[in-house]
Amino acid sequence: MSAVDDSPIVLPDDPSFGWEVQVDYPGYRSTLWRAPQRPLVTMPEELHDLAGPVYGDETVSPLDADLTRQHEGEPIGERIVVHGRVLDEDGRPIPNTLVEVWQANSAGRYKHYVDQHPAPLDPNFSGAGRCLTDSEGRYRFTSILPGPYPWRNHHNAWRPAHIHFSIFGRLFTQRLVTQMYFPGDPLFAYDPIMNSIRDPESRKLLIARFDIDSTTPEWALGYEWDIVLGRGGRGATPFEEDGR
Ligand SMILES: [Fe+2]
């Protein structure tokens, strides 16, 4: 794949320099504890040289991309299809890269011991999936619409409905983590996580587009969302600081 740039992402010494996301955003309380206080440490050179991750055909099953078929019954909620492409900054597709997702159920509850808020768990929904992009950089998941949930960051704090995404780039050191949102959510203006992205135009890059073409009659609503792996430039999908 000669067209692919395999150079490692270079991190700046100043933690806040050049990044779209304010890593110590006061409105998002826990960032004050985990934002870097010192210059970043450069990863050992030998990690940059690892030509991976590499996933065999048997490692990732096509069923892993369908979060509605992981249990005996179907999960409760509005069935959705989320699809798009993983691209580099020049619009070139990134094929065969691992895309992982995790999300709350339709009631806004994670299947995780830390999440104890009084909404029901769904025995037919675990909320995690993965797939590899195809030769054109495309990914596709079937799931249910996640619900908003309270998160105690401040008084009356509710997260907009979202799906967490992790994307491996071309090297082990290039795992990137972000969140995808759904269009028209009334909670956007109140969400410190979304608003820790400095540029309002960049925030929009995290919002999927309702897609009638992938909406399936009598079955599921479709959403399209492209992910642009960049170095913090305009047009690149903003990523969380711990996923850089
Ligand atoms: Fe979440």
Does the annotation mark 149 as catalytic? Answer: yes
Q: 95 C-alpha to center of ligand 1: Å? A: 26
First to last CA, the chain: 24
Kindly indicate the confidence band of residue 11, based on its pLDDT and cuts at 50, 70 and 90. Answer: very low
Torsions phi, psi of 207, nearest 5?
A: -100, 125
Contact 142, 83 (CB under 8 A): no
pLDDT digits (tens, 9 = 90+) for 177-192: 999 999 999 999 999 9
Assess whether 223 carries a catalytic annotation: no
CA 143 to ligand 1 center in whole angstroms: 15
Instruction: Say how many Å lie between the CA of residue 164 and the centre of ligand 1.
Output: 6
- Choice among 28, 110, 139, 181 that is catalytic: 110
The pTM of this model reads 0.84
Q: Which member of 83, 85, 109, 164 is catalytic?
A: 164
pLDDT at 10 over 80: no
Question: Under a CB-based contact definition with an 8 Å cutoff, are residues 115 and 41 in contact?
Answer: no
Query: Rounded CA gap, 33 and 55, in Å?
Result: 35
Q: What is the CA radius of gyration of the chain?
A: 18
pLDDT of residue 1: 33
How far, in Å, from the CA of 193 to the mean position of ligand 1? 10
Any alpha helices (H) in the chain, and if so which ranges? 31-34, 45-48, 192-195, 200-204
Q: Is 83 a catalytic residue?
A: no
CA 9 from centroid of its chain's CA atoms: 18
The pLDDT of 107-130, averaged and rounded, is 95
Separation CA 4–CA 27 (nearest Å) = 38
**CA 189 – CA 194 distance, rounded (Å):** 8
Q: How far is the CA of 230 from the centre of ligand 1 (A)?
A: 23
Assess whether the previous peptide bond of 53 is cis (omega < 30° from 0).
yes
